[in-house]
Amino acid sequence: MDTKHTTLGEFIIDNQKHFKYSSGELSRLINSIRLAAKIVNHEVNKAGLVDILGAAGETNIQGEDQQKLDVYANEVFKSALINREIVCGIASEEEEDFITVQGKYNAHDNKYVVLIDPLDGSSNIDVNVSVGTIFSIYRRTTPLGMPVKKEDFLQKGKEQVAAGYIVYGTSTMLVYTAGYGVNGFTLNPAIGSFYLSHPDMKFPETGNIFSINEGNYAQFSQGVKDYIKYCQAEEDDRPYTFRYIGSMVSDFHRNMIKGGIYIYPASTKAPKGKLRLLYECNPIAFLTEQAGGKATDGFNRIMDIQPTELHERVPIFCGSTKMVEKAELFMKLNKE
Ligand code: P6P
């Protein structure tokens, strides 16, 4: 029995004092995500064994084939959040519009909203490559009653009260911030507890890993092309190492530990990039900044962007500050 490491539950209680204005609800919210993570992890780990693979025969709001595990993960996180009567509304990559929480005790009066990508990178499931869940938590800005899309969901990323991800990899980790640094917890599947394995995670100020889908090179702007050539040049501390898993959470997690930059830029085929502002880029940007890194769209801070719709996309450059600043330099030099 691991009595040396702090469990996630103990950590949340010990850090309750940081959650100003919260009467323990934010702690209970993060605990409900912890429970859902364990349930999804169980299914992800045996996805190859049971008939849970393969598209569910439907497509999601993004027009992408919905893998059964996508659908399953979405239902697990929604029910964990709804059953605890903590949130007043949920937005998900798998849902066209946000969901208001009815339930008893006027659940719609609850003060938090959650935005989630229940299973990011799900196209990797069938090839046994790690996938992840990404979540973003805000306090509602409307006083009571049914939450409102513009005021409660379309808030700037800098208004987040907490954000994090679960990476279902060689081990399953939950990494989150509540505005007081980033901490990583590793699941001990034997006893179903998350233990504090990566306290106070920090991006190295610089690094030598760059993560981008070079297959799209021909579609990139000149600024992105020039930065890629810079990373590949045999000069100074370069060439950098190219690592791209095709699962943002995994690429981000590795880069935060080792130092690096993850880029999903705009391209001729994807003028706004591919990744979603509300439930992918904003939570990742919050974690990035809390870990001492930088997250921009190539020109502007991600968390200052005013959202206009639930599923909007933005380009993202995130990771070690000096690497992001160098990439931004190439973007600005080539700004059309
Ligand atoms: P591409 C997975 O679909 C995802 O949203 C991210 O997790 C990942 O980094 C990216 O898209 C991969 O996209 O176009 O390079 O296959």
Residue 191 has, within 13 A of its CA and on its CB side, a CA count of: 9
Confidence at 335, pLDDT banded by 50, 70, 90: confident
List the beta bridge partners of residue 267.
none
Residues 155-180, mean pLDDT to the nearest whole number: 96
Binding site for Mg(2+): which residues? 93, 117, 119-120, 280
Residue 182 contacts residue 291 (beta carbons within 8 Å): yes
Pocket test for ligand 1, best of 213, 244, 318 (most atoms within 8 A of CB): 213
Residue among 113, 249, 230, 279 at smallest CA distance from 169:
249
Could you tell me which CATH class the domain 209-334 is placed in?
A: alpha beta
Which tokens belong to 229?
């050539």
Ligand 1: atom nearest CA of 262 is 9
Lowest pLDDT segment from 56-70, 246-260, 285-299? 56-70
pLDDT, residue 68, reads: 82
Confidence at 107, pLDDT banded by 50, 70, 90: low
CB of residue 181 inside a 6 A radius of ligand 1: no
pLDDT, residue 26, reads: 87
Q: Pairing state of beta strands 112-120 and 87-92? A: parallel
Binding site for substrate: which residues? 120-123, 213, 244, 274
pLDDT, residue 2, reads: 57
- The Å distance, Cα 5 to ligand 1 centre, comes to 34
Cα 153 from Cα 286, distance rounded (Å): 16
List the beta bridge partners of residue 182.
177
**3-state per-residue secondary structure call for the chain:** CCCCCCEHHHHHHHCHHHCCCCCCHHHHHHHHHHHHHHHHHHHHHCCCCCCCCCEEEEECCCCCEEEHHHHHHHHHHHHHHHHCCCEEEEEECCCCCCEECCCCCCHHHCCEEEEEEEEECHHHHHHCCCEEEEEEEEECCCCCCCCCHHHHHCCCHHHCCEEEEEEECCCEEEEEECCCCEEEEEEECCCCEEEEEECCCCCCCCCCEEECCHHHHHHCCHHHHHHHHHHHCCCCCCCCEECCCCCHHHHHHHHHHHCCEEEECCCCCCECECCEHHHHHHHHHHHHHHCCCEEECCCCEHHHCCCCCCCCECCEEEECHHHHHHHHHHHHHCCC
Which tokens belong to 288?
């990035």
pLDDT tens digits, 210-256: 999 999 999 999 999 999 999 999 999 999 999 999 999 999 999 99
CB of residue 16 inside a 6 A radius of ligand 1: no
Lowest pLDDT segment from 1-15, 78-92, 273-287? 1-15
Pocket test for ligand 1, best of 166, 247, 317 (most atoms within 8 A of CB): 247
pLDDT, residue 258, reads: 98
pTM over 0.90: yes
Which tokens belong to 172?
């399953």
Is a pLDDT exceeding 90 seen at residue 57?
Answer: no
pLDDT, residue 170, reads: 87
pLDDT, residue 59, reads: 63
pLDDT, residue 281, reads: 98
The proportion of the chain whose per-residue pLDDT surpasses 90, expressed as a percent, equals 74
Write phi, then psi, for 111 (nearest 5 degrees): -100, 5
Confidence at 106, pLDDT banded by 50, 70, 90: low
Is a pLDDT exceeding 60 seen at residue 52?
Answer: no
- Torsion sign across C-alpha atoms 290, 293, 298, 300: positive
Does the structural domain 8-201 have CATH classification 3.30.540.10?
yes
Residue 164 or 144, more confident: 164
- The Å distance, Cα 84 to ligand 1 centre, comes to 32
Q: How far apart are the first and last CA of the chain?
A: 59
Which tokens belong to 329?
């330099």
pLDDT tens digits, 127-161: 889 999 999 999 999 988 889 999 999 999 999 99
CB of residue 213 inside a 6 A radius of ligand 1: yes
Confidence at 257, pLDDT banded by 50, 70, 90: very high
Residues 111-126, mean pLDDT to the nearest whole number: 91
Is a pLDDT exceeding 70 seen at residue 123?
Answer: yes
pLDDT, residue 23, reads: 63
Average pLDDT score over the chain: 91
Does the model's ipTM exceed the 0.95 cut? yes
Boundaries of every domain in the chain: 8-201, 209-334
pLDDT tens digits, 233-243: 999 999 999 99
